[in-house]
Structure 1
């Protein structure tokens, strides 16, 4: 893949960020904690600029069914750190992701990790030795027309050639136009998982 670095990828600042969810161990339901239960949901969520989760639509579940039913409710009762645009302005946030409550060290962790599928697959010429695929998370800003205006690494990740390559191609996936509860289109922040894989070699053509 030729790495083209659009202007917005060079400017992606640390303040372009997805929400910081404030779920702690004491939010774990007592019964599930005592019984060592873990669960996860794949969900479409919306977080408003004040950090309140205003939508949580379950698409798939894994693990303890009773705990899975509680995950949206637990997230909805908490106030989270809101998403931010690169200029530091709080933003609407929309994504499809895995939301989980699990006890570290339990065997369900690996299975929960597989619940989240990539949003898009990018073919590249090569990956580091021994790797067949490589997943990268990026945070993107999207305007009222559904166009990408900014892109950068997820919280805790550093800029890298992989992130730059993904950001250069973040617009290959159609992005939804976000509508606020009052019916107006608005810019928003999202987080996406891209999977890089080596492009298949073209088949030899018999002469």
Structure 2
């Protein structure tokens, strides 16, 4: 059970300020000749208590190498936030965002809208993939102290499960600019999707 302790602390994640102005076509890092559409990516930005980006790194798939890092450099310089808070005081936080550059005439894919994928045998309702946005309060050792749902899905049972699942997964330890571990408020989007192999008993 999640328990009441999961909701005891008062905390909020960083909130982006005008993210539509952070990146432009000139920031595209280049593609292989003949490419018509770029696979969307997702990055995590570490935000300090003043609302400035302190670090940035890709989330999940890193197979496309140099795509994320030039973009991350730009985001660290340009992004601005209302900082995370804990008990009303500014705190360190982690904010994730989807990026979708496209070139040529190909149709770009939708932005990567999740940080964690949970494969399941079946889903309630129509069985469509469901995303749940959560915020976690994480201590200096990377242990989750509290979790709350900020973007519910269409199924309450999945909202409850999202915090349970995310709390069992490792959380990256956040450090300040001097390299010292700090408490932080981390945003995550948990996606529940039917695994075809499990659904058919393979």
Q: CA-to-partner distance for each residue in 1:7-62, whole Å, 9 max, x for gaps?
A: 2444476x522332422359645899xxxx9995433422211111122345466x
Q: Deviations over 1:168-204 (max 9, x none)?
A: 332210112222221321111212222324684797x
Q: CA offsets, 1:69-114, max 9 Å, x none? A: 8743553333522342452322212356423578xxx942xx142x
Gaps of 5+ in 1: none
For residues 79 and 118 of structure 1, the distance between their equivalents in structure 2, rounded to whole angstroms, comes to 20
Q: Distance in 1 between matches of 2:120 and 2:39?
A: 33
Cα displacement (A) at 1:148: 0.7
1:128 aligns with 2:93: no
Q: Pick from 2, 7, 14 the counterpart of residue 4 of structure 2.
A: 7
**1:175 equivalenced with 2:147 (yes/no):** no
Summarize the alignment of residues 175-194 of structure 1 with structure 2, pairs less than 5 Å apart.
Answer: 175-194=171-190
Question: Could you say if the C-alpha distance between residues 145 and 10 of structure 1 is closer, same or farther in structure 2, counting changes exceeding 3 Å?
Answer: same
Structure 2-normalised TM-score? 0.65
**Distance in 2 between residues matched to 1:21 and 1:39, nearest whole Å:** 25
Root mean square deviation of aligned Cα: 4.0
Find the structure with the greater CA-based Rg. 1
Aligned residues: 182
Q: Given the two structures, how large is their TM-score scaled by the length of structure 1?
A: 0.64
